[in-house]
Amino acid sequence: MRKDTHPDYHIIKVKMTNGDIVEMKSTWGSEGDQIALDIDPSAHPAWTGGNTKLMDTGGRVSKFKNKYAGLGF
């Protein structure tokens, strides 16, 4: 890698929503800084793959499905 091109990669502390503290490498902050998460990655559907139900607000999902029904979506 070229010098002074990439951000510093160091160890930070990540405070989970249940209070556990995990050390991870990151480009965020400085060495030893702590960040607190608002969303628990062990339970959130974005990371667990659960609860994939679509929220149809204003009929947008239905409109999309009707518009592109012939394409196999």
2 falls within a domain = no
Decide if 73 is inside a domain: no
Domain assignment present for 51: yes
Checking if the pLDDT of 50 tops 90, the result is no
Query: Residue 21 is part of which domain span?
Result: 10-68
pLDDT at residue 30 tops 90? yes
Q: In what order do the strands lie in the sheet with 21-26?
A: 21-26, 10-15, 34-36
pLDDT at res. 52: 59
Angle at 43 (CA atoms; ends 60, 38), nearest 5 degrees: 85
Number of domain units in the chain: 1
- Is residue 3 in a domain? no
Q: What is the pLDDT of residue 39?
A: 81
Mean pLDDT of 7-32: 92
Question: What's the token pair of residue 57?
Answer: 């607000």
